[in-house]
Structure 1
């Protein structure tokens, strides 16, 4: 009987409509993908941060969003969210917008991107489009990375 080692790297992509249920669909997708690949260690945190980025895309745009989950080498996971708005919010933008101030205790919004700043290992964002005179702006991509498995962690084997 041969043993097949599953790859450590993989990627999933999901296109989400401008719909208030998109964050729930994104959470379910993250949960299924990470559970299916045996990366449950950081599941709750990755699920929360993904939900925050998708919710932000829904609240601040009028178009669809896209989610991409990518397992990188050394047990890292990158989550990217594309939306149609070109503005890069803190903490994803360049200084002086590289940190998010704490939201007031009675604020109804403003905590989601701060959670990314606090719990992700790294994050960033970049505009999509060339910025030329005919560029109508294709939006932006925000991403974060987290370690979901220790380097050299065990691989699942399929008999």
Structure 2
């Protein structure tokens, strides 16, 4: 018996991957950065972004550690696809409304930040602004649920989205 199939198109239409976002509620626990990194690895592998894994793990760990060290309660990690799934935005919300330098400047990371040699901290966020393609912070006012706080974010993958390095 002969089976007849419809002809295959000579070129498949370009289909953008569906946008995705994941959110993870993290307790105020010293193990939260490790949980965040593990979750991130699974998400990146699932969506074919393993090339971003090393840098994304470092930056996620720094943002979650900052939330643990400087806020009293829970934090929320959000991972979101940008540019049709070729780039990644990592956001961390915590209840402390203070936006630390360099995130208290212009959103988007217009320039690199620096940490004074004598500073007791801030080197983790320096790594974020050094390795991320863009970064920023936003204060969040109290809402109906009284959450307030701040959101620190960074983006990765500009060079993965543009292999030649052109933006």
The TM-score range, normalised by the shorter chain, is 0.7 to 0.9
Q: How many residues align?
A: 146
Q: Which residue of 2 aligns with 1:111?
A: 123
Note the C-alpha offset of 1:16. Answer: 0.3
TM-score, length-normalised on structure 2?
0.75
Aligned equivalent of 2:153, options 134, 143, 158: 143
Secondary structure at the residue paired with 1:35? Answer: helix
Mapped to 2, the partners of 1:108 and 1:43 lie a distance apart of 28
> Match of 1:46?
56
Instruction: Report the RMSD for the aligned CA atoms in angstroms.
Output: 3.0
User: SS in structure 2 opposite 1:124?
Assistant: strand
Q: Quick one: distance in 1 between partners of 2:41 and 2:101? A: 26
After the TM superposition, which segments of 4 or more aligned residues of structure 1 sit over 6 Å from their partners? none
Ranges in structure 2 where 5+ consecutive residues have no aligned partner: 6-11
Q: TM-score, normalised by structure 1?
A: 0.79
Given candidates 83, 94, 115, the residue that maps to 1:73 is: 83
Partner of 1:90: 101
1:121 aligns with 2:133: yes
Query: What is the CA–CA distance in structure 1 between the aligned matches of 2:19 and 2:162, rounded to whole Å?
Result: 13
SS of 1:27's equivalent in the other structure is helix
Which of these two proteins has the greater Rg computed from alpha carbons? 2
Of Structure 1 and Structure 2, the greater strand share is in: 1
Bigger relative contact order (CA 8 A; separation at least 6): 1
The Cα of 1:101 is off from its aligned counterpart by: 2.6
The CA deviation at 1:60 is 0.6
Q: Per-residue displacement from partner, 1:1-34 (whole Å, max 9, x unpaired)? A: 9x9x782521000000000000000000111100
